[in-house]
Structure 1
Amino acid sequence: MAAAAEVSILPDSVLMQVLALLPPWDRLRAAGVCRRWRRLALDRTVWRHVDLSQRRLSSGALWHLLRRHLQPGLRSLRARGSLLSGSRQRLLSPALLAALRKRCPQLHCLGLAETDLRRVPYESIPASLTVLELRHCELPSAWFRHTASTPGALQHLLVHHVPAFSDQHLLAVCSQHRLKTLSLRGTYRLTEPGLQRVAPFLQELQHLELQGCGAGDATMGSVGRHMKQLRVLEIGACPVSNMGLGALKTLQHLETLCLDLSEKLSAGAVIVLCQALPQLRDLRLVGGCLETEVMDQIRVGLSHCSFSHSPQHPA
């Protein structure tokens, strides 16, 4: 009773901030507490950001949320389908996305996990999006082809463990959008020639992550030539050697560098690279076995930036 009384004296603005942090289903439960909580829990500001990715969602459940609770002011939506569960049910359809575009014209971030998109044309994706996140999804071969004559609004693309994502997909999205963030993990179909081909289209890129794809020394050369606005660079599980690192000295705006250590990379080459990057403030090394003497050598040689080493990459 005392705890309930303490909550009841909170101002509406504070309580709404608390409700906005809850999962959507908990917000709906809170709406049943009393009239005040119902008014606050269903307020449109509480529903600006909706994360449904903690549970597998059916198409019917998403339709219900769209019609009853998603507001015109919705800014970000994340949802999880049932692709990895063996179910044949599809989370999204062109009709559902059309309704989402109409009801939520301010949607700028869409995150999809375990979603089968093979029957969803790319043109169905809301044109208002600036952020698209795909995790463990299936794509058709012709996706990312933008039919409009003007560049798309998409600026930030995350593709993690999407087995169908290929050089053709990457070329389509990079040539038709002015990307600022590109995060690729577990995209094993990508090849080094494909990555080199798209580099000239990524001159405005500020954050690049390449984990477990075909990026090697030739790709690093293309990064150094074309992506000189990079602020953050993360490279892991890629066949990059000391020679490839040397090509990154042109990234004079780089502030954060994260590298997976391997047999091909030496601590000396890392130090030489980082000393050539005047804006570098954060160096993170992952994997490998660094002796205390080597770590001290790195810290002394890179006194202008912070340094950390972890035995394995975070999940």
Structure 2
Amino acid sequence: MERGGESITDERNVEADEGQEDGEPTAATYDCSGGSRHHQGGDDGGDGHDDDDDDDGYGGYGGAAEAASAIIGRGVAAEWSRLSEDLLLRIFSLLPTIDRFRVCCVCRMWRHMSLSPNPGYWREANLYSLSSSKPHLTEQAVKAVVLRSKGMLVNLSIQCCQLSLLEYIGCNCPMLEGLIVGDVRFWSPNGPRGEWMPAVHAFVHGCGARLQSLKILFQVTEGDRRRRRELSAVVAALATGLPNLVSLVLHVTGQQRLQDDDVSVLTQHLPRLEVLKLTGAHITDASLDLIGTRLLSLRSLHVDGCRSLHQEAVDSLRSRRKNLHVSASGGFFWHPPTGVDDEDWAIMTVYAPVEYKEKIKFYAALPSWIPDVENLILAGDWNTVFNPGLDSPNPTPIREDTFVLTSLKGAQSLHDVKDLWDKVGSVWHSTEKVRSLMPRLRWVELNYERIKKAAVPTHWKRTLNKDQEQSSGFWVVDPENSSQLWKVLGPDPGPGTKVQIWRKKQDRNQTALIFEDEETVKTTVGLEEARVNKQVSHGSSVCQMVMVPHDRLIIEPLPFGWNQIPPAPPVLVYLYEAKIGVQILQDRVSRKPVTVATSRLTDLQSVGDGGFRLPQALQNTQKAAIPKTGVSAVASIIADNSLGYMA
């Protein structure tokens, strides 16, 4: 494995590790037993020094390899040589799975230990950080882990799984007790029908005896009746072949969803279930009745986003099963795909009910979620914003914020973490993932000029100071100068409007995001005089979210990198006083507001996913205006006072 001036990524660690024989040394080798360092085959001139330009200074190995390289470089390798193999293996077993591959690159002894048959060392493997855009890498890593575990692998987490890998797991992991798969694509538009069933049968046949926990996300890309039957066949195979399941999380996305018949099969064959999560399923009250009657061991039920359930049925189940926790919030989940530096990402947004009590109830269910690509709230430069937050004096469940952010770091393997914490209830989490590499350092600087003084309560004073220090940039404008803002943004929503200043670069005026909060005490900012300079690494995408109290919710996703100047703001879709409005805020050339269409809520047409869509006439009107702005948009209005927007 040659290295000269570039860091060794996860891909190279896994692939190179697969390609070498058991006793073959790596190109960069450290002899831990003698304390001397040898370099073979590098292009650094043979002097044994590291020419790597990585920020970490240790050749980009990461984790234990970095620490070991530093220690060995200080001439204390003999201390490590005194540690027994058992003790070293216990230390290695505490490392993340990817770092266990990296230790093979440190020295011959460590490589020998990591490759030697030691099933206890590889009983658990978390490979969720490997990109779903490179399934071959995930498959290589899983096979490497299974080979080292000698069939003793107990828990496995992966982000993507092809049919061949699912079959391999079934044939080689008889001791598997827990499996998490973030994305299983059984169907493709051009693929043959039914090709997945042998893999499913191989999996349940090989793992059915011991598997107790299964979390799996299916993507169905076709919506015909035959695909519906095939999905039911997969659910039936899992239910009948995995009788010992205690925890089951099934999330089906795309053109098909779980239905009542699927729940009937699950409740019939899985009586031992204690945890069941069926997020976004198209089930009715009849399924709740079956669950309450048949699954007597069930302790936790999650049917969030199941739009056909009635509150009366949920309350009835709770009254009958006092010890059963039922989470059935009306939130709607949406995730458009996007790309960041060749990574296959998804921007996740949770649309919570806008009524205050229902919103708090919705957030109260957060601790029971396992953060993944289906329920994260991501906004900005891979930022997480929880609402209500700094912009609201209302209380917010802080513990949920902490839970999601903590789990986010581990589950998604995100780096460059910046947490801003405020006791009022605000969390701002910023991160960026570029394959296995740590991202470049980023800085944000805000410069405000001639800000008028105004009396601000303690809460807002602390908030504003913290925002200015940490570059969030929340301010409140009064009617005196808001007229300048609405000349650009459109109709003036009235006094008490809160503004978050965003996306101003190189002193070029761009668009601000708007909040409406009647309880906010006003202060004054001359928006036309405020300058924001923001510099980030290239390749980041932006998804900005605005949540407004009462009966309006605005979502503004921006498919632009920070290194670009967007040609025009995207479409805003908002729900206000039982009216639906779709408005493109600015024309690309004239920079004047362009109203596309408005419609009464009753004019919306129901669609199969439990939501609504604009009538065809409105869609045609909307498309007619799109060429003027260069913005492509499709509006999707969600029921129960929640609203979604897709760009």
Q: Same fold (TM over 0.5)?
A: yes
Tell me how far 1:260 sits from its aligned partner. 1.7
1:65 is displaced (CA, Å) by 9.7
After TM superposition, the score normalised by the length of structure 1 is 0.62
1: distance between equivalents of 2:295 and 2:198?
A: 27
State the superposition RMSD in angstroms: 4.5
Alignment of 1:2-81 (within 5 A): 23-29=63-69, 31-32=71-72, 34=76, 38=80, 43-53=88-98, 67-68=111-112, 70=114, 72=118, 73-74=120-121, 75-79=123-127
Give the TM-score, by structure 2 length.
0.33
Q: Match for 1:264 among 295, 308, 327?
A: 308
**As a proportion of its length, which structure holds more helix?**
1
- Deviation larger for 200-209 or 126-135: 126-135
Q: Which amino acid aligns with 1:313?
A: N
1:76-91 equivalent positions in 2, closer than 5 A: 76-79=124-127, 84=133, 91=140
Q: Are 1:173 and 2:203 matched, yes or no?
A: yes
Residue 309 to residue 84, structure 1, CA distance change in 2 (3 Å): closer
SS in structure 1 of the partner of residue 303 of structure 2? strand
Q: Which residue of 2 aligns with 1:157?
A: 179
- Whether 1:237 and 2:280 are equivalent positions in the alignment is yes
Q: Compared with structure 1, are the counterparts of its residues 50 and 164 closer, same or farther at alpha carbon in structure 2 (3 Å cutoff)? A: farther
Query: Among residues 222, 226, 231, which one is paired with 2:265 in the alignment?
Result: 222
Assess, with a 3 A threshold, how the Cα gap between structure 1 residues 65 and 252 changes in structure 2: closer, same or farther: farther
Q: What amino acid maps onto 1:253 in structure 2?
A: S
Larger Rg: 2
1:314 and 2:363 are equivalent in the alignment:
no
* Residue in 1 that maps onto 2:415: none
Distance 1:219 1:27, change over 3 A: farther
| 1:40 CA displacement | 6.5
How far does residue 132 in structure 1 lie from its aligned partner after superposition? 2.9
Please, which runs of 5 or more residues in structure 1 have no aligned partner? 1-21, 102-106, 108-125, 300-306
CA distance in 2, matches of 1:232, 1:89: 28
Change (3 A) 1:221 1:44: same
Report the residue type matching 1:155 in the other structure.
E
Task: Give the conservation status (yes or no) of the 8 Å contact 2:155–2:178.
Answer: yes
Distance in 2 (alpha carbons) for counterparts of 1:197 and 1:84: 28
Q: Which has the higher contact order (CA 8 A, sep 6+)?
A: 1
Q: Using the alignment, how far apart are the partners of 1:274 and 1:158 within structure 2?
A: 29
Cα 1:256/1:27, change in 2 over 3 Å: farther
How far apart, CA to CA, are the structure 1 residues paired with 2:354 and 2:366? 8
Q: What is the SS of the residue equivalent to 2:278?
A: strand
Partner of 1:248: 291
| Equivalent residue, structure 1, for 2:216 | 184
The alpha carbon displacement at 1:145 in A equals 8.1
Of residues 40-49 and 170-179 in structure 1, the stretch that sits farther from structure 2 once superposed is 40-49
Cα shift readout 1:249-295 (whole Å, capped 9, x = no counterpart): 12111112222233311222222223333432464646153756668
Contact 1:49 1:77 in 2 (8 A): no
CA contact (8 A) 1:174 1:201 kept: yes
Distance 1:308 1:206 in 2: 21
CA contact (8 A) 2:201 2:237 kept: yes
Residue 209 of structure 1, CA deviation: 0.2
Post-superposition shift, 1:167? 4.2
Rounded to whole Å, the distance in 2 between the matches of 1:191 and 1:144 is: 21
Q: Tell me, which stretches of 5 or more residues in structure 2 are unaligned?
A: 1-61, 188-195, 222-229, 333-352, 378-647
Residues 37/229 of structure 1: CA separation in 2 closer, same or farther (3 Å cut):
farther
Is 1:196 paired with 2:236?
yes
**Residue number in structure 1 paired with 2:154:** 130
| Aligned residues of 2:280 and 2:307 also touching (Cα < 8 A) | no
What secondary structure is seen at the aligned counterpart in 2 of 1:161? strand
Identical aligned pairs, as a percentage? 17
Name the CA distance, whole Å, in 2 between partners of 1:226 and 1:90: 31
Q: Which moved more, 1:173-182 or 1:22-31?
A: 22-31
Higher strand share: 2
Map Cα deviations across residues 164-185 of structure 1 (whole Å, 9 max, x no partner): 4844433332233222111111
Which residue identity is paired with 1:44? Answer: L
Q: How many residues align?
A: 258
1:220 is matched by which residue type in structure 2? Answer: V
Instruction: Name the SS for the 2:204 alignment partner.
Output: helix
> Conserved in 1, the CA contact under 8 Å of 2:281 and 2:303?
no
